[in-house]
Amino acid sequence: MTTPSTARFDHLLSSRARIGWDGSVTTSRPVASPLYEFGGGFPDPASFPYDGMVEATARMMKAEGAEALTYGDPQGYRGMRELVCHKYQLFENLHVTPENIFVANGSGAALALAFSAFVDPGDPIICEAPTFSGSLNNIRRHGPEIIAVPVDADGMDITAVREALERLRRQGRRCKLIYTIVNFQNPAGPDLSIPRRHELVSLAEEYDTFILEDDAYGELRFDGDTKPPVYALDRNGRTIRAGTFSKILGAGVRLGWLCAPPAMLPAFQGFNFGGGVNPFMSRVATYFLREHMEPHVKLLINVYRAKRDAMLRGLWEVLTGTDVEISRPAGGFFIWIKLPSGTDPARLEELALAARVQYTPGRAFFPGGGGERHIRLAFSYEQPDKCYEGCRILARAILDARR
């Protein structure tokens, strides 16, 4: 039996629920049983360490027993917090302590903790346009004034950030935080350049605000050198860093974290569950990654680089000669496309739907509208042959959708 829409109890919804009820944009187009899943950033199931996780679970249970099945540290399992510190040192030469780490239920929940701790309805915050649709919907639920700044080949436009901060200062207002995706920006793809990272830190100090540095994909770098985290450049404790194991271990483990000055952590705890987040899975992940993190990440880099290259090859074989713009991210899961002039987005959706090719329309990633000429493709889920084949099909649909 279908529940009538009038039974939604609208009059009982909280203000936050009302903000979010109709505010989100569908992340990906509704393709029933897609043949080519390029919509969501789903990690490759073939890369999951099935046997290793079984072995790690048995080893952990033998070592820790009942401790794994009871409530844990409110800040999160210390072994996992130590592992995060090791990961940061290994991949980014970032030195922090377990007292800096606050475990959350995936990076989305970690970001929500930061927004909840610092953002009231109506507060100005700055974020990139485009930016990750999941974060955008998360931000919207907190009801701030979203000030969007553009992204170019060097990441967030820091000149635009300064202009926005100065404009707020003249109004007698202050930006609560600046949200940025620093590596392989989702969806546009660039890294935030090192000079801009330094400038961002200086602006946060000058204008008395925080930086929320989102880095879900940093280990998965295919090309170029690792850039220093904004957190490492900040000597005044104004940066909060969000991370996750979803991309290197499995999204189903639902383990993310915030890295922040220890004095800030009680602000997050007030919005979290008691007893710590998933003490059991935190232990399983820790026991596996203690032994296998570096070789497993190297395997994943090869897996995802091959998928990216196959997708780009399929697109360019068909679209060369048009004025299409296609990103070549140095890592991560996504390719960002500015469609050729004259492409009808509605017609493209029809053609892709018929071909069972899933992608995400660009409008999902812009806080204030726009993005109709863009689409995002995820190369993470399908195998390289399907990335190549599906993108040739999609590219032909793009040509056929031109007016």
Q: Which tens digits make up the pLDDT trace of 222-276?
A: 999 999 999 999 999 999 999 999 999 999 999 999 999 999 999 998 888 778 8
In a shared domain, residues 44 and 191: no
In a shared domain, residues 285 and 306: no
Q: Which domain holds residue 231?
A: 51-292
Cβ-contact 102, 265 below 8 angstroms: yes
Rounded alpha-carbon distances, angstroms, from residue 370 to 197, 247, 360, 367: 27, 28, 14, 8
Instruction: Please say which residue of 227, 260, 292 terminates a domain.
Output: 292
User: Nearest 5°: CA angle at 356, between 35 and 318?
Assistant: 95
Q: pLDDT per residue over 66-78, tens digit each?
A: 999 999 999 999 9
Spatial separation of the C-alpha atoms in residues 266 and 74, rounded to whole Å = 10
Q: Name which of 353, 294, 352, 333 is nearest 91 in CA terms.
A: 294
Of 4-13, 131-140, 260-269, 357-366, least confident by mean pLDDT is: 4-13
- In this structure, is residue 11 part of a structural domain? no
In a shared domain, residues 151 and 97: yes
In a shared domain, residues 71 and 58: yes
* 393's tokens: 């099909």
pTM: 0.93
How would residue 29 be classed by pLDDT, with cut points 50, 70 and 90? low
Residue given tokens 């929320």 in the structure block: 212
Cβ-contact 204, 237 below 8 angstroms: no
**What was the pLDDT predicted at 32?**
59
Spatial separation of the C-alpha atoms in residues 162 and 358, rounded to whole Å = 37
Number of domains making up the chain: 2
Spatial separation of the C-alpha atoms in residues 359 and 40, rounded to whole Å = 8
Amino acid at 80: M
Instruction: Please say which residue of 265, 292, 319 terminates a domain.
Output: 292
Instruction: Please say which residue of 292, 312, 339 terminates a domain.
Output: 292
- In this structure, is residue 15 part of a structural domain? no
Close Cβ partners of 302 (under 8 Å, ≥ 6 residues apart): none
> Domain with 243 in it: what CATH number?
3.40.640.10
Q: Name which of 352, 317, 373 is nearest 36 in CA terms.
A: 352
In a shared domain, residues 318 and 361: yes
DSSP bridge partners of 102: 258
**What was the pLDDT predicted at 205?**
97
Q: Name which of 320, 290, 293 is nearest 60 in CA terms.
A: 290
In a shared domain, residues 33 and 181: no
